[in-house]
Structure 1
Amino acid sequence: MTIYIHLVRHAQGFHNLSAANHQLPDPDLTPLGEQQCATLRDAFPHHKSITYLVASPMRRTIYTCLLSFAPAAASGVKVIALPEVQEVSNLPCDTGSDPARLQSEFGPGGQVDLSLVKEGWNDKSVDTKWAPEMDRLDARAKAARVWLRELARNGVQESGGKGHVHIALVTHGGFLHFLTDDFDGLNAEMGTGWVNTELRTYQFVDPEGNDGEARLKETGDSWRRRRGSAVGLTETEQMEIRVALQSRLKEEFGGV
């Protein structure tokens, strides 16, 4: 059995339209963003094989997941809201809504499982694990990967080892670099190298669980689809980008 993790950056939100809109709290998708979801929905080839849907508890990521993977959601696959994959910064647009609001919008008995979203998940102050600091971002990226691997292994057990496990995860452009530990293509101005509703597919380096970091590797098909024969960054080049990103976090968001 093979485990596939389909990673997606959310569709365009109103905060993507201008720097001024970064002050919008937990913004909605734009009409173009909704169209981007429809395009991804029509292009994605594995709707019938989706085992789990997962999303950051931000409203734009939840709606992107519901719209882009509508066939799976309509068949009864709930979206699991996972706080560990929320966005990096502490700007209003990257700070989630209180659990009570999310419950009222997506509600018990609906298509979203909010059981992991607790009070304080949207507190990004300096003394919390959600603060925009490199060590904490690395820690929650690792926690998210380990959680995803356990979820995938649960899917393997439930299927009796037959077929494949497909997990679709919708998260944020900045956090995707930490989740994949790949900073190739990162644009300092945009804060990411992923475009809205971009899809890349990954597998675990060690799906059995012996790798404590639960590292991900992009599939060959996914890499060739977006990069052709290009060669990825060296370890030294990746580290140079991380150092530059650390300086940016410290300067813009108070991280260290």
Structure 2
Amino acid sequence: MPPTLILIRHAQALHNVDSKAYHSLRDPVLTDLGRLQAVELREHLKAALPPDRRIELIVISPMRRAIETCLIALDWVINEGVPVVPDARWQELHPNPCDTGTPREQLAADYPQIDFSLLDPVYPDKISPAGARYRCEKGAVLARAQSALADLYWRTEDVVAVVSHSGFMRTAVTGRRFANADYRVFDFEERDWNQEGEPYRLVEWEWTRGKGGMGRSNEEPVELGEGLPEE
């Protein structure tokens, strides 16, 4: 049986405060408010997660704001020995400086508690032919979302927590909106194995449907692929 997914948007980062001032800042970190949001999220998740369910794997975007959110909001799980896996497929969409990550060698030095050895070595390239799978083009974005979901579908853990970004999760994974430090819970939709190439789809729990687990998110759904540039 595929795992349940808790999809979490990172807490407030510098570029979320002032786009004019900080969108030119590469891979921005959390603000003071963002760190407080992550603490609030931690306490909420600890209380809200059903007692018979257990987070057994954490997957994160390798961007600093996602890493820092994970290390604060999920420290109680990490301290129990649950692995944290950085996955470039969960990074944000655009090649703007604020949505472009930091090379893995520097990440490994800055966050030694996380193993970056399996992170795609092409990260954070989204522009060259080598980084084509991460381009902000509709086909590439939807394909990497399906690749990421396909891998999670076959995991054996009970619950997988994913810390990612609003743009990617909204337009390519769920069709749902995420406020900073909010989350939604999903199960995989049952698949028809007679339909070749059927996409992996998610069904949201009633618990978070609407405004999200923290009650901060916009309820209006979007169509997958909406607003993404064509090739």
TM class, shorter-length = 0.7 to 0.9
In the TM superposition, residue 226 of structure 1 has moved relative to its aligned partner by: 4.3
8 A contact 2:3–2:152 mirrored in 1? no
SS of residue paired to 1:125: coil
Greater shift in the superposed pair: 116-125 or 95-104 = 116-125
Alignment of 1:53-68 (within 5 A): 53-68=58-73
Tell me the amino acid that sits aligned with residue 91 of structure 1.
Answer: N
In the TM superposition, residue 100 of structure 1 has moved relative to its aligned partner by: 0.7
The verdict on how the C-alpha distance between 1:114 and 1:212 changes in structure 2, with shifts beyond 3 A counting, is farther
1:169 aligns with 2:153: no
The verdict on how the C-alpha distance between 1:137 and 1:225 changes in structure 2, with shifts beyond 3 A counting, is closer
Bigger Rg, which one: 1
1:201 aligns with 2:185: yes
Measured in 2, the distance between the counterparts of 1:105 and 1:232 equals: 37
Question: What is the root-mean-square deviation in Å for CA atoms of aligned residues?
Answer: 2.7
8 A contact 1:141–1:178 mirrored in 2? no
Q: Which has the higher helix share?
A: 1
In the TM superposition, residue 238 of structure 1 has moved relative to its aligned partner by: 2.8
Per the normalisation by structure 1, the TM-score is 0.76
* 1:190 corresponding residue in structure 2: none
Per the normalisation by structure 2, the TM-score is 0.84
1:142 aligns with 2:146: yes
1:100 aligns with 2:123: no
1:214 aligns with 2:197: no
Measured in 1, the distance between the counterparts of 2:26 and 2:36 equals: 22
What is the percentage of aligned positions where both structures have the same residue?
30
SS of residue paired to 2:85: strand
* 2:15 corresponding residue in structure 1: 15
Measured in 2, the distance between the counterparts of 1:207 and 1:51 equals: 23
In the TM superposition, residue 212 of structure 1 has moved relative to its aligned partner by: 4.5
In the TM superposition, residue 224 of structure 1 has moved relative to its aligned partner by: 5.4
SS of residue paired to 2:208: helix
Measured in 2, the distance between the counterparts of 1:29 and 1:18 equals: 13
In the TM superposition, residue 181 of structure 1 has moved relative to its aligned partner by: 4.1
Residue ranges of structure 1 left out of the alignment (5+ in a row)? 156-164, 185-192, 250-254
Measured in 2, the distance between the counterparts of 1:208 and 1:147 equals: 17
Tell me the amino acid that sits aligned with residue 120 of structure 1.
Answer: V
8 A contact 2:100–2:124 mirrored in 1? yes
SS of residue paired to 1:143: helix
1:79 aligns with 2:84: yes
